[in-house]
Amino acid sequence: MERKLYDAAVQGNKILLLDLLREDALLLDRFITGRYPETPLHVASMLGHLEFVNEIVARKPELAKELDSHNSSALHLVSAKGYLKVAKSLLEVDPDMCLVCDIDGRNPLHIAAMKGHLGLLRELVDARPWAARVLMEQGETILHACVRCNQLEALKLLVERVSDHDFVNCKNGDGNTIMHLAVAAKQTETINFLISSTTIDVNCKNEYGFTALDLLSQNQRDMKEKEIAESLERMEAIRAKDKLLSIPQLKAIRSKILLSAWDQPNAILKPKKRKDGKRLVNSNRNVDWLERKRNILMLVASLLAAMAFQAGVNPPSGVWQDNGPSGFSLTESNGKNHTAGYSVLADNHPRGYTNFLIFNTTGFLASLSIILLLISGLPLRRRFFMWILMVIMWVAVTAMALAYLVSIAVLTPAHSDSSLITILGIAMFVWIGLMLILLLGHTIRIIIRLIKYLRKLVIRLVKPISTRPT
């Protein structure tokens, strides 16, 4: 029956729909209670079958709230196709669907604006104006989407209906305003509109300190660039950078602004360089790096905690199985008795067992600390905090290595090949030394970064004082 209903939705066959519902009155309810990649309403809406859509929403208006496998509602699909009448029918059922975001963080208004469906966009804005202020992924507004997709008319509509000074000058995750995007894409008409009809800040700086004018070359052989520069300079636009960038550098930066966090959220961009030679690192790559580190630390910490727990409850040499004299023989027991369930190593090698227990417990607690910090929900999104977690992980790994070394030392008979024991000991200490060298290197690196940060902070504090008139 579900298959037949899908076929009817593809054809827009209202008569077949009614026949199926007469055979099974609960047919539409199954698409609400069950899990389906998409509902017949999604299919009919995407194909623009108005009568079929009206019949479904009249019988089961709840289906308008159902999402497909991409978290898209029927209104999302209609917004992409531009079917105005179908959109009106869905809006009458539930206008709040304008606020629902799909898997890419876009609501129906975002999609309609990107596609340039002005009539439909106007209906959506009238239904829920504040839906236009919902940010997409990477902190971009619907105005960013209009500029990226070169939809000037949609931009004008939104500026007229829902925009204000703060919204027009809103920055995305890379600190770029819509003016940065328009200049990077050389959209002359869009720039002229923003200058003449909005309160856009032409001197706003992005994350890397560039104003819109910095994105244009000084040697303006390109007539379009020259026209844009003249328009910006009439608005008293300034360059934030004293040293002008070369043409290849400008092209790289403009390309980065237009590609960053758009349509390819997982794409790895080639590192660009600023005028001072430093790399412009995409914020997405930083987040990905931290996320990979978090996952690796969680996995390794879980394995170490499991190993330490197993070694703690089942120590080397095992536990006594009965009560009796301690030692390997009655003459070695020295009058001491052991108890069933207690560690054999604790009786025969008390000092070695103590060292083993110290190292094993240290590794166990360090691993648990990492797991607890990672699942605590704390905002561990800074490299400094990730460095702290890595230090704790080094402590855990080193402690487990020392526990292994102690176990090997106390479990190996004295008459065994001493050279083998020596080699194992040397290898273990070399490895621990390597860990300490890595720890020292990262410590020096973080100290240098901290000094640079404090130096910049002092310069920022001193500069306003020095420029203050006496």
Which range has the worst mean pLDDT, 57-66, 72-81, 230-239, 326-335? Answer: 326-335
Check pLDDT > 90 for residue 12.
no
DSSP states along 92-154: HH-GGGGG---TTS--HHHHHHHHT-HHHHHHHHHH-GGGGG---GGG--HHHHHHHTT-HHH
Check pLDDT > 90 for residue 116.
yes
Asked whether the domain spanning 163-281 has the same topology as the one spanning 1-134, the reply is: yes
Instruction: Tell me the β-bridge partners of 280.
Output: 272
Say which DSSP state 321 is in: S
Distances (CA, A) of 146 to 136, 142, 347, 397: 12, 6, 76, 51
Q: Is the pTM of this model over 0.75?
A: no
CA 437 to CA 64: how far, in whole Å?
Answer: 61
pLDDT computed for residue 329 by the predictor: 47
Check pLDDT > 70 for residue 384.
no
Q: Which ranges in 314-382 belong to alpha helices (H)?
A: 344-348, 350-375
Confidence of residue 418 (pLDDT cuts 50, 70, 90): low
Which range has the worst mean pLDDT, 102-106, 148-152, 327-331, 407-411? Answer: 327-331
Reference 392, options 439, 359, 449; nearest CA is: 439
Torsional sign, CA 195, 201, 206, 208: positive
pLDDT digits (tens, 9 = 90+) for 161-208: 887 888 899 998 888 999 999 998 889 999 999 998 888 998 998 888
Q: What is the mean pLDDT of residues 12-22?
A: 87
pLDDT computed for residue 463 by the predictor: 55
Check pLDDT > 90 for residue 224.
no
For residues 366 and 392, the answer to whether their CB atoms sit within 8 Å is: yes
304: tokens are 């170490």
For residues 210 and 240, the answer to whether their CB atoms sit within 8 Å is: yes
Q: In the chain, what are the domain boundaries?
A: 1-134, 163-281, 284-467
pLDDT computed for residue 243 by the predictor: 64
CA 354 to CA 407: how far, in whole Å?
Answer: 11
Q: What is the mean pLDDT of residues 368-386?
A: 71
Indicate the average pLDDT of the chain: 80
Triad 299, 302, 308: Cα angle to 5°: 140
Triad 77, 82, 88: Cα angle to 5°: 85
Instruction: Tell me the β-bridge partners of 338.
Output: 324
Q: Is domain 1-134 classified as CATH 1.10.443.10? A: no
CA 312 to CA 157: how far, in whole Å?
Answer: 68
Specify the higher pLDDT residue, 90 or 372. Answer: 90
Q: In Å, how far from its chain's centre is CA 458?
A: 32
Check pLDDT > 60 for residue 122.
yes
Report helix, strand and coil shares of the chain as percent, to nearest 5: 65, 0, 35
pLDDT computed for residue 326 by the predictor: 58
CA 216 to CA 229: how far, in whole Å?
Answer: 7
pLDDT digits (tens, 9 = 90+) for 269-310: 333 444 344 443 344 444 445 556 667 778 888 888 888 888
pLDDT digits (tens, 9 = 90+) for 26-81: 888 877 777 778 889 999 999 999 999 999 999 888 898 889 888 899 999 999 99
Q: Which fold has domain 163-281?
A: 1.25.40
pLDDT computed for residue 107 by the predictor: 94
| Helix/strand/coil for 58 | helix
pLDDT computed for residue 421 by the predictor: 67
Confidence of residue 340 (pLDDT cuts 50, 70, 90): confident
Residues 6+ apart with CB under 8 A from 268: 285
CA 230 to CA 92: how far, in whole Å?
Answer: 48
